């Protein structure tokens, strides 16, 4: 998992409420166990026409938001099934940070496990950010995880909260597998002692 320290990028306003994981990545694209290649199917139900052509009105199809790395969301984003593919699709598209007033719990946890920073702010702040990024010249946001600050203007900053452990994992680029491998020597020692104490378990 890549380290997340600072991010400066285009932010797209997608404030539709109750966006579930099936809308983020439809079920027919869940056949893969690879985290790569799902970005092209992100929001496919509302991103493409029936003939496969992109819908011009969809936010991520608009020229100024095609390369967005930040998505500003509506309430209850990521609800529905627990499919981790939803986060994989966002990541593969290039989204590295989500900013919203409310995220579904499992989706929220999956973001941290896959290197995406989900930031929760009061709705009044979300409205302020959306107003700013709705214009091309002001669509860039700067996110500093270490300082827990979003810069929305030259002299205007918003502080956000984050669990210290999750923050540490993102800064170090450490997912569950990395954290487990870091304990490899202790795990090996435990297994060795277990075999000596209960040798029949190894048969």
Rounded to an integer, what distance in angstroms lies between the CA atom of residue 114 and that of residue 47?
Answer: 23
How far apart, in Å, are the Cα atoms of 37 and each of 4, 11, 85, 90, 196? 21, 22, 11, 11, 46
Element at 143 (helix H, strand E): strand 140-144
Burial tier of 35 (Cβ tally within 10 Å: 0-12, 13-18, 19+): middle
How buried is residue 176: exposed, middle or buried, by Cβ count under 10 Å (0-12/13-18/19+)?
exposed
At residue 34 the predicted structure's pLDDT band, cuts being 50, 70 and 90, is confident
CA pair distance 195, 178, nearest whole angstrom: 25
Domains within the chain, CATH numbers bracketed: 6-172 (3.20.19.10), 174-203 (no CATH)
pTM value is 0.87
Taking only the tens place, the pLDDT of each residue in 108-128 is: 999 999 999 999 999 999 999
- The residue-averaged pLDDT of 127-148 equals 94
């Amino acid at each position: 998992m890549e380290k997340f320290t600072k991010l400066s990028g285009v932010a797209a306003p997608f404030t539709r409420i109750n966006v579930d994981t099936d809308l983020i990545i439809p079920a027919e694209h869940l056949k893969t166990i690879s985290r790569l290649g799902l970005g092209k199917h992100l929001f496919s139900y509302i991103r493409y026409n029936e003939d496969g052509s992109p819908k011009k009105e969809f936010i991520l199809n608009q020229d100024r938001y095609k390369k967005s790395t930040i998505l500003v969301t509506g309430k209850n984003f990521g609800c529905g099934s627990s499919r981790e593919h939803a986060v994989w699709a966002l990541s593969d598209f290039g989204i590295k940070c989500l900013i919203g007033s409310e995220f579904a719990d499992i989706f929220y946890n999956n973001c941290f496990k896959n290197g995406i920073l989900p930031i929760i702010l009061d709705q009044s702040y979300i409205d302020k950010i959306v107003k700013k990024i709705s214009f091309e010249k002001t669509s860039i946001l700067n996110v500093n995880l270490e300082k827990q600050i979003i810069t929305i203007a030259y002299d205007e900053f918003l502080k956000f909260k984050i669990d210290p452990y999750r923050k540490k994992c993102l800064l170090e680029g450490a997912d569950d597998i990395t954290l487990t491998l870091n304990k490899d020597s202790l795990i090996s020692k435990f297994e060795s002692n277990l075999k000596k104490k209960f040798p029949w378990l190894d048969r």
